[in-house]
Amino acid sequence: MTAPARTRLSPDERRSQLLDLGVRLLATRSLEELSIDMLAEEAGISRGLLYHYFGSKHAFHEAVVRRAADDLIAQTAPPGEGDPLERLLVSVTAYVDYVDANYEGYLSLVKGAAGNDTLREIYEEARAALTDRIFREDAQGQIITDSATNRLLVRGWSAMIEELVLSWRAAPDGVARDELIALMAASLPAIVGVIPPG
């Protein structure tokens, strides 16, 4: 029996492959559980090769979290067409699906951001990317106009949405996924409606 031919990857391709594997493993494990040994075994490579590409376990964790945050931003991008509320619904639905599928890793990011400056920076960059979308104006218009007050409001809404999804995922307690999504998508226009006219 002949062994399958191995493909030699460039350093960038190998690093990207290892990050993809790290993100996949992070979906069902906490960041603390994501060890160099586990990744080396899953990838079929030596620990030394992982250290060669990332330098340390800490640097590897940061790279995996950054890749996961980039995936979250990409997967929750609203469509280019449709009215603002329809696009918000699509984006919120994708966010729920992402957190549901990657719960352990996402929860690790949220918890890790509280005690780690680098993780906090990645977390804040991801949150800013998600909330800044709401203020982008296009032919279909915006849900909310851009102002300092509204940016503060959307930041609070974003924190509420994150808490709703994490709490629901941990203990759904009879709340259906579609019910949660409808509540989340309707909450921003409802909150905007209580802002006194400027």
Angle at the Cα of 75 from the Cα atoms of 7 and 84, rounded to 5 degrees: 155
Whether residue 108 lies inside any domain: the answer is yes
Say if residue 24 is exposed, middle or buried (CB neighbours under 10 Å; 0-12, 13-18, 19+): middle
pTM: predicted TM-score of the whole model, two decimal places = 0.84
The answer to whether residues 20 and 67 touch, using CB atoms and an 8 Å cutoff, is yes
Whether residue 23 lies inside any domain: the answer is no
Residues 51-88: tens digit of each pLDDT: 888 888 889 989 999 999 999 999 999 888 888 888 89
In this predicted structure, the answer to whether residue 30 has a pLDDT above a threshold of 80 is yes
Cα–Cα distance for residue pair 122/109, rounded to 1 Å:
9
Whether residue 52 lies inside any domain: the answer is no
Amino acid of residue 183? L
Amino acid of residue 163? E
In this predicted structure, the answer to whether residue 160 has a pLDDT above a threshold of 60 is yes
Whether residue 51 lies inside any domain: the answer is no
Whether residue 49 lies inside any domain: the answer is no
More confident site: 108 or 127: 127
The mean pLDDT of 148-165, rounded to a whole number, is: 93
Give the CA distances from residue 1 to residues 4, 5, 6, 74, in Å, rounded to whole numbers and listed in that order: 9, 12, 15, 43
Whether residue 71 lies inside any domain: the answer is yes
Cα–Cα distance for residue pair 149/192, rounded to 1 Å:
11
CATH number at residue 119: 1.10.357.10
Q: Domain limits at 112? A: 64-192
Structure-token pair, residue 103:
């719960």
Q: Which residues have C-beta within 8 Å of that of residue 182, sequence separation ≥ 6?
A: none
Q: How many domains does the chain have?
A: 1
pLDDT at position 4 is 47
Angle between helices 117-132 and 148-170 (to 10 degrees): 110
Cα–Cα distance for residue pair 149/105, rounded to 1 Å:
32
